[in-house]
Amino acid sequence: MNALEKGYAQTIREYCLQSKEKNPVILANEIMGIEGFPVAGQAHHPLIAASLLTAYANALNEKVDEHKLDAVIKRSDSLPAGFCAGFGSDAAIISLGITVSVILGNTVDEGSSVGRTISHTLTGMGMLAIANNSGARCCKRSTFTALTLAANYLPATLGVTFPKLEEATFRCQFFEMNKMCNKKYCKYYP
């Protein structure tokens, strides 16, 4: 059964529950390669959150917590398609903030102020990284950008180490499916 028949949220959940991948970019890339996974759109919001949470747990040699996985999928899937164009911020990056908030159990209370700072700092850095992209929207590029940033930021803040991704050689395998591909203007274009 492909991702269209099963539904993208369920596809993401099932894949993450069985994955041992410790690099969130590689994990997301694997899921995006599943037949029927959309080229663009809302499916990328829970994909980013679930990939980061799963890689985080795997990097700590822990099993991903199903309740946390369900929480990040539900919260990030509440960000509608087109959010990036019409709300002044990028849902890929907000999905990172959601994930860190769930990992740390952030609340509005004073005791969560450090956790909120970690989440907000990552979100702010991510918005700047996305703002430096040019051309048409590309959910794949935003996914790669967001998760690469998180993999580089979280070791210093949460003490987790992800396997390094050779960003200079990492290339998008989905460009032919994307009619709006920015081609040579995208750092992930082959």
Q: Considering only residues 72 and 167, tell me which one the structure prediction assigns the higher pLDDT.
A: 72
**pTM: predicted TM-score of the whole model, two decimal places:** 0.95
Per-domain boundaries in the chain: 3-185
pLDDT tens per residue, range 57-91: 999 999 999 999 999 999 999 998 888 888 889 99
**3-state SS class at 89:** coil
In contact, 117 and 158? CB cutoff 8 Å: no
pLDDT for residue 168 is more than 70: no
Rg (CA), the chain: 15
Cα angle 146, 176, 143; round to 5: 10
Write the pLDDT tens digit of every residue in 112-158: 899 999 999 999 999 999 999 888 889 999 999 999 999 999 999 99
